[in-house]
Amino acid sequence: MSAKQRQIHKDNELWETNRMLTSGVVQKIDVDEDFEEEFTNRVHILVHNIVPPFLDGRIVFTKQPEPVIPIKDSTSDMAIVSRKGSAVVKSHREQKERRKAARKEWELAGTQLGNLIGVKNEDQRDERAEGDADYKTGQKFAEHMKDYEDNSDEATKRSKIKKQRNSLPVFAVREELLRLIRENSVVII
């Protein structure tokens, strides 16, 4: 017997007992201490995780390979704007491309003028630096702590803490981050 059939049977029994008690044919002998069961209805939920065949991906039901265009009136303002794109997005994209091009113009490395001035490529700088670089110096954290323990002056402590805060990577984007937090109620970092 399934859970649904058991519940139907139990509800039927409770109804029959209730009818006999109200008619006076039967008097209840045992006291039912669980009053909640009489007044609450139980709901059994059976979950079937069925993926429909059109979402399954194994069978292709359409004979039309290209997508259906949902726009009914292709001359409407919304359709035209969606095809052309926003003017704001277009201007932003153009400004970004101009900045990128201007940055490339000012890169003197590898040009005649750069060679005369003595500007080297970043790749050449990295290759020179790799040969005699001490890799551990960038990874040391406790160097600043030695100096900190020696100084007991409060002003120097504050200035060192301020310098340490300013050297953190997040300090470079601090103003932008604070502006973002002010403008938006929810910010995910």
- 69 is written with which tokens? 């265009």
| DSSP string for 135-178 | TTGGG--THHHHHHHH---HHHHHHHHHHHHHHSGGGGGHHHHH
What pLDDT is stored for residue 95 in this prediction? 92
Question: 37 in a domain, yes or no?
Answer: yes
- Where is the domain boundary, 36, 56, 76? 56
Quote the CA–CA distance of 148 and 157 in Å, as a whole number: 7
What is the rounded CA–CA span in Å between residue 49 and residue 71? 34
Domain that holds residue 48: 3-56
Type of residue numbered 120: K
Structural domain total, the chain: 2
pTM of the predicted model as reported, rounded to 2 decimal places? 0.22
pLDDT tens for each residue of the chain, 189 residues long: 788 898 899 899 989 988 888 888 887 766 565 655 666 677 778 888 888 777 777 777 777 777 777 777 878 888 887 778 878 888 898 999 988 877 766 676 667 766 766 667 665 555 554 555 565 665 565 555 555 455 567 888 888 998 988 888 888 888 888 888 888 888 887
Residue 104 lies in a domain: no
Tell me if 134 is assigned to some domain: no
Tokens coding 158: 């504050």
Residue 34 lies in a domain: yes
Which of 56, 72, 91 is where one domain is finished? 56
Distances in Å between the Cα of 189 and the Cα atoms of 3, 41, 178 are 48, 46, 12
Is residue 145 domain-resident?
Answer: no
Q: Are 109 and 119 in contact (CB under 8 A)?
A: yes
Specify if 188 maps to a domain: yes
Round to whole Å and give the CA distance between 14 and 38: 8
Q: Residue 9: inside a domain, yes or no?
A: yes
43 inside domain = yes
Whether 81 and 87 have beta carbons less than 8 Å apart is answered as no
